Amino acid sequence: MLRRSFVSIIAAGALAALSLAAAAQAQTDPLPSWNEGAAKQAIVDFVAAVTAEGGSDYVAPDDRIATFDNDGTLWSEQPIYVQLAFALDRVKAMAPDHPEWKDKEPFKSVLAGDMKGVAASGKKGVAEIIAATHAGMTTEDFEKIVLDWITTAKNPETGMLSKAMIYQPMLEVIDYLKANDFDVFIVSGGGIEFMRPWTDTTYGIAPPNVVGSSIKMKYEVTDKGPVIMRLGELNFIDDGPGKPVGIQSHIGKRPIAAFGNSDGDFQMLEWTTTGPAKTLGMIVHHDDAAREFAYDRDSHVGKLDKAMDAAPKAGWHLISMKDDWKQVFPDE
């Protein structure tokens, strides 16, 4: 009897020790939502190298700049970009004040729910939609409209809130980099004024650290005081070759780490990883149809073709959503 009790005590102690060890490991692992593998190791090794004072790859904190694309890199972009969904909803909300839209493309197709018709209007049609729904108001009014919409906006395929379809593993990377004195920026083709109202609460990235496409604005003095008015004309497209330009004009320093997911991020990855310091380039590969979406070369949204071919030679790491991530969304 005593022997059995002694064995039980030893077994219980061993289990408790294992539980404590597991808990300790969870606390010390900066990327708990990542499976062990080459992608996770590349992040950890990179951070260790550039933060080791006296090491050959050491980078001073002031120069630790990391950039992240938004759509498809930090949150889901299928079946359509979230900002495009916002613009389409705005057309429907504004339609009563624009009866002419019933017979005018691309608004006619939007109101009829004809996405093929919207797509057929091409970039010119999308530009018209953006101009009509994003301009003619103050920056404060636009911010309120965005915040009201994003609070309830849902993905048309999953039914989940768009803000819930953010990638937990990437949130951990952002926190890990910030904990190691990186200055983290979003560099996206999306509208800068569309993203800034919610990136702080969603990703922990403040408005000054958001770089994006923009429309022209002007300063006016009204009866209610000075305002900044949004105009219906594009100012800057922060996509493809525009991303390095946006980085230079907004940040003023070359990043040492860049994360993207599509060919629209090619130049940002190229600009970052050809810099003089030790660098890290990573591409989120959407290959998990069960937990999110699977797409790459032939996708109409977030096409990944040129960048995927260039990755091995450029030293960019492909992140397999299916194999590298234990979970995809925070509430999973």
Q: Report how far apart, in Å, the C-alpha atoms of 211 and of each of 3, 66, 143, 239 are.
A: 68, 12, 16, 10
Number of H helices, E strands in the chain: 14, 7
DSSP string, 263-289: GGGHHHHHHHHTSSS--EEEEEE-B-T
- DSSP letter at 37? S
The predicted-structure confidence for 134-167, as pLDDT tens digits, reads as follows 999 999 999 999 999 999 999 999 999 999 999 9
Q: Does residue 8 lie within any of the structural domains?
A: no
The predicted-structure confidence for 45-70, as pLDDT tens digits, reads as follows 999 999 999 999 999 999 999 999 99
Q: Does residue 203 lie within any of the structural domains?
A: yes
Q: Is the pLDDT of residue 24 over 50?
A: no
Q: Is the pLDDT of residue 124 over 90?
A: no
| Residue 210's CATH number | 3.40.50.1000
Cα–Cα distance for residue pair 160/219, rounded to 1 Å: 38
Q: Does residue 306 lie within any of the structural domains?
A: yes
How big is the CA angle at 65 (ends 64 and 68), to the nearest 5 degrees?
140
- DSSP letter at 98? -
Range of the domain at 311: 33-79+166-324
The pLDDT value recorded for residue 122 is: 85
Element housing 82 (H / E): helix 82-94
Cα–Cα distance for residue pair 273/261, rounded to 1 Å: 15
Domain count, the chain: 1
pLDDT band at 20 (very low <50, low <70, confident <90, very high): very low
